[in-house]
Amino acid sequence: MKSSEKSYHHGDLRRSLLKVAFEMLGEEAGWQFTMRELARRAGVTHAAPYKHFESKADLLAELAVEGFVRLTAALVATQHDGHASPREGFVTMCKAYVAFGGNNINLYRLMWSGDARASGNPRVLAHANAAFAVLLDRITRGQHSGWLASRNPAGQAVACWTQLHGLTLLSADGLLESLTANAIDVAIAELLDGLQAPRS
């Protein structure tokens, strides 16, 4: 934060590496950047990152954790707006999920890449579950307040999560635009119809 741009890198190389990694994820090139490129951009030798991360998978796990934190925040941020209806509020959250993926597609793919989980870092799974918990909480409250059909909330949350995950990925792959207009809105509407329908 103190900005020592152009210094020789002292204690905060770890933080610098994460920052540069997020910058690279923001570019076009996909999430499979190389450790050597990361080191190059951070201005250090390719061996230096290994003093701060055990392996590439370890670095990816850190990025994935931060990704889930940001996704969770994006979902939570939709909770207290004044929505026209409970359903509208929920739809807003769903759109925020898909928008997060669309705006951070390299990070989103990294979060689910398997390479991140392969690190063995349990925080990846824990933070994925934390994001899921936001969906589950909203659904549980929706059932209590009566606008969602009452059945196992976890089942509804899983249906919601899988729908949003698939929608995010296929949308980012550019496969939906040619199939129908407003694919995201339509798919979310079908999801909500299902969650509201009685008699599972």
Partner DNA sequence: ACCTGAACACCGTTCAAGT
The footprint of DNA (CB under 7 A) covers 9-11, 13, 34-37, 44-48, 50-52, 54-57
Both structure tokens of 128: 């994925």
33, exposed or middle or buried, with CB in 10 Å at 0-12, 13-18, 19+?
buried
Please return the burial class of 144, using the count of CB atoms within 10 Å of its CB with bins 0-12, 13-18 and 19+.
Answer: exposed
Q: Which does 9 bind (CB under 5 to 8 A by kind): a second copy, DNA, none?
A: DNA
Interface residue with a second copy among 117, 119, 121, 138 (CB under 8 A) is 117
- Nearer CB in complex with DNA: 57/169: 57
Interface characters, 132-161, with a second copy (x: CB under 8 A): x-------------------x-xxxxxx-x
Residue 182's identity, in one-letter code, is: N
For residue 7, the minimal CB distance to DNA (Å) is 10
Contacted entry of DNA, a second copy, none for residue 26, CB cut-off 5 to 8 Å set by kind? none
Q: Which stretch binds a second copy (CB under 8 A): 34-42, 63-71, 78-86, 166-174?
A: 166-174
When CB distances are held under 5 to 8 angstroms depending on the partner's kind, the choice from DNA, a second copy, none that residue 88 binds is none
Which ranges in 104-182 belong to alpha helices (H)?
105-111, 115-118, 122-145, 153-172
Q: In this chain, which of 57, 112, 130, 137 binds a second copy, going by CB under 8 A?
A: 112
Residue 53 C-beta: closest distance to a second copy, Å: 21
Q: At what angle do helices 183-196 and 153-172 cross, to 10 degrees?
A: 170
| Residue 127 binding a second copy, by CB under 8 A | no
What distance lies between CA 119 and its chain's CA centroid?
Answer: 18
Residue holding tokens 């925040």?
73
Scanning 15-23, 40-48, 89-97, 167-175 for contacts with a second copy by CB under 8 A, the matching segment is: 167-175
Q: Quick one: which of 7, 116, 113, 105 has its CA closest to 57?
A: 116
Burial group, residue 68, by CB count within 10 angstroms (0-12, 13-18, 19+)? buried
Q: Is 130 in the site for a second copy (CB under 8 A)?
A: no
Cβ at position 76, least distance to a second copy in Å? 19
